Structure 1
Amino acid sequence: MDYFVQQLINGLTLGSIYGLIAIGYTMVYGIIGMVNFAHGDVFMLAAFIALILFLMLTQLLGVGSLGLALIVVLVLGMALTSLWGWVIERLAYRPLRGSFRLAPLISAIGMSIFLSNFVQVVQGPRNKTMEPLLSNVLVLPIGNGSVTLAEKQLLIMAVTAALLAGLWYVVKHTSLGRAQRACEQDRKMAALVGVNVDRTISLTFIMGAALASVAGLLWMTYYGVVSFNDGFVPGVKAFTAAVLGGIGSLPGAVLGGLLIGLIETFWSAYFTIDYKDVAAFSILAIVLIFLPSGLLGRPDVEKV
């Protein structure tokens, strides 16, 4: 029983990170109907930004408080990554918004390759490591055994829950959220009633990049190692999570991320780690056969 609960905690932690990345995919797709395949590499770039900022604060500037350093890294990292998200939208996606649907997809893949190679050239191909952070653990008795719950695991799950709640409030109860929902339903009609569509889409990319920045900081805190190719596999799994939960649904993105994290963790724990990705994608295929819109997604309605 204690082994099962331990793996449950590990799976929820990993799934929370996937869920944060998946929100960026689902927000962009919900408004402009395009999959931002560069989003995984934005997450990877954010992890490098977090690592560099943390090392600058602690080693160059001598900041001794870990909590203060993490807060500063969080704020500056979100600002810098959001700027990257804005630039990517302006350069790679906005000029192609009115073209045929394949052009933005090719542009997104090209931007993904550019970001990956840019980081490889600037930071080098080797993994970048740092000392473990938030290494304190809580030992919880379970039956005849016990499980460990690390501070960083609590932090990751709490931050994911707080950001999902905050983002849901923004989408449901603010003018920006109303503009986003209007653009999701019909961009032309939204423009006719006074919604600034370009501004709304840019802000959506900025919000997605900011969430990717938080995910990158949590990834760096949890694993203590980042690499230039970290954007591909987590990005693909986060996109899988968005599709599994119902792309276009914010709770669905987080739910899909949690499910992917749990599937990977339990499969690795009880079977073999070699086929954990096969298990995750197989579950996705099975769900989409019976629920083509995902677990919480809505079926597309064709406008005539």
Structure 2
Amino acid sequence: MTGLLASGLTDFLSSAVDPQVQVDAIGIGSIYALMAVGIGLVFGVLRLVNFAYGQLVMAGAFALAFASDRDWPVWGGIALCFLVVIALSLAMDRVVFRPLRTQSAATMLVATFAVAFLLQAVALLIDQSDDTLGEPAASLAKLNLPWTIWGTEVRKITVVAIVTAIVCLVALVLFLGRTTVGLQMRAASMDFETARLLGVRANRVIGSAVLVSGILAAVVAVMMTVQQPLVTSTFALRETIVVLAGVVLGGMNRLISATLGGFAIGYASGLLGGALPTAQSQYLPSFLFGLVIVILILRPGGLFTRAGGAVERV
């Protein structure tokens, strides 16, 4: 028995350090990090965990499938994806979040669940309109083709995901630190009421946070659709749950720690998925969430937060 365990551990470690597995894990971590930024940004300003975030990604994926089915050029499909996701984000804020802004956190949380299931039900009706389950987005398939670099197959979307994540995160840091709206968002995240007394316009700040979050959701929708070109009503649902766990794991009170948490759980997901034998891949969620529980028991405030340090949510 000991020999079998040692052999299995050796095989796992050998697979885990394989360059192919590492590259794919970093690519997945980059996509999850962008999702974590979008979720963390809204939480920082509204103190709201938006469980409907995955459905925004799903809506963008359906837009890409719609454009692909009608032979639109790739750029046209991507433009439609951004338009649909941003419009839904702003509508969600205007119709649901703004009227409930003065209500309890529990009320707003339930509202996000309701929006999530509503969008999922609408997507299912649209999906079943042609008597088939799943809408293909074949026009983006060429972005999933690999390059061979030093003997390792690196998919184009992996490189795009890594570069896009870095660019988006740098742009967001500059936006929050160098622009008036960004500074107001940071002030609102620390003490919303005081910020309003000092002249910060609540609707403008919250609208900006929702807009940026929607843009990031559209970026994630494009990258995930390239990797999973069959779009269904449950598209991005599992990934959203995993990213939410990563945000909590990293520490929800700071955007950087939440982002690192999202990257960490995405990297771990890619690493375990690539290193585990195919016959044992069904155990991946158990490994992931078991690891999250252990870390939170040891670090309840989050893996990347400083105990007793000043809180800066955005």
> TM-score category by the smaller chain?
0.7 to 0.9
- How many residues were matched structurally? 288
The 8 Å contact of residues 137 and 231 in structure 2, kept in 1 or not, is answered as no
- Given the alignment of the two structures, is residue 47 of structure 1 paired with residue 28 of structure 2, yes or no? no
In the other structure, the counterpart of 2:110 is: 106
Structure 1: distance between partners of 2:136 and 2:207? 33
- Given the alignment of the two structures, is residue 292 of structure 1 paired with residue 300 of structure 2, yes or no? yes
- Given the alignment of the two structures, is residue 129 of structure 1 paired with residue 158 of structure 2, yes or no? no
The 8 Å contact of residues 45 and 185 in structure 2, kept in 1 or not, is answered as yes
**DSSP 3-state at the match of 2:153:** strand
Structure 1: distance between partners of 2:288 and 2:100? 33
CA distances 1:64-97 after superposition (whole Å, capped 9, x unpaired): xxxxx33x43344223211111111111121111
The change in CA–CA distance for 1:136 and 1:109 in structure 2 (over 3 A counts) is: closer
**DSSP 3-state at the match of 2:99:** helix
In the other structure, the counterpart of 1:188 is: 193
In the other structure, the counterpart of 1:251 is: 256
Identity of aligned residues (%): 22
For 1:53-68, list aligned pairs within 5 A.
Answer: 53-56=67-70, 59=71, 63=73
Shift of 1:54: 4.1
In the other structure, the counterpart of 1:159 is: 164
Structure 1 range deviating more: 197-206 or 212-221: 197-206
Structure 1: distance between partners of 2:186 and 2:88? 24
- Given the alignment of the two structures, is residue 31 of structure 1 paired with residue 45 of structure 2, yes or no? yes
For 1:1-304, list aligned pairs within 5 A.
Answer: 4-56=18-70, 59=71, 63=73, 69-70=74-75, 72-124=76-128, 126-131=133-138, 132-141=141-150, 146-271=151-276, 272-297=280-305
Structure 1: distance between partners of 2:196 and 2:144? 50
Gaps of 5+ in 1: 64-68
CA distances 1:10-48 after superposition (whole Å, capped 9, x unpaired): 111122222211111111111121111111111111111
**DSSP 3-state at the match of 1:95:** coil
CA distances 1:202-257 after superposition (whole Å, capped 9, x unpaired): 22112111101110011111222211111321111111121122224333333222
The 8 Å contact of residues 263 and 279 in structure 1, kept in 2 or not, is answered as no
* TM-score of the superposed pair, with normalisation by structure 2: 0.85
Amino acid in structure 1 at the alignment position of 2:271: F
The change in CA–CA distance for 1:183 and 1:239 in structure 2 (over 3 A counts) is: same
The 8 Å contact of residues 251 and 304 in structure 2, kept in 1 or not, is answered as yes
**DSSP 3-state at the match of 1:190:** helix
Shift of 1:297: 3.6
Q: Displaced runs of 4+ in structure 1, greater than 4 A?
A: 298-302
Structure 1: distance between partners of 2:297 and 2:121? 36
Taking only aligned residues, the RMSD between alpha carbons, in angstroms, comes to 2.2
